[in-house]
Amino acid sequence: MIRAVEPPPADTISRKAPWGRLDLNRATEEELKDLPRIGPELARRIVSYRRENGPFRSVDDLLKVKGIGPKTLKQIRPFVEVAGK
């Protein structure tokens, strides 16, 4: 007999995407804010930068966002990507 599996409640799912990485060119502020060292303000800056400057070409482009330095980039690198790169 096959049983249907209920998905976990939405509030228990990690936005850090353990099964994959967040695409910096598609991620929402809500998704980005839960990354290590990001929070709501940097998430807003990331999305604003993307809107004003076009898509990120690499994860390293995050260094162009005010408030993101090498330490922050190192912390979030495992959780983000630029799709197709």
- Per run of 10 residues, the mean pLDDT along the chain (length 85 residues) is 51 47 96 96 98 98 98 97 83
Determine, yes or no, domain membership for 9.
Answer: no
The CATH number of the domain holding residue 41 is 1.10.150.320
Which structural domain range is residue 73 located in?
20-81
Domain count, the chain: 1
In a domain, 63, yes or no: yes
Whether 8 is in a domain gets the answer no
Predicted model pTM: 0.76
Does residue 2 lie within any of the structural domains? no
Give the end-to-end CA distance of the chain in Å, rounded to a whole number.
Answer: 43
In terms of Cβ atoms closer than 10 Å to its own Cβ (0-12, 13-18, 19+), residue 80 is buried
Query: Does any domain span residue 14?
Result: no
**CB contact at 8 A, 22 and 50:** no
> In Å, how far from its chain's centre is CA 3?
33
At residue 85, the pLDDT reads: 62
pLDDT of residue 84: 73
Is 12 within a domain? no
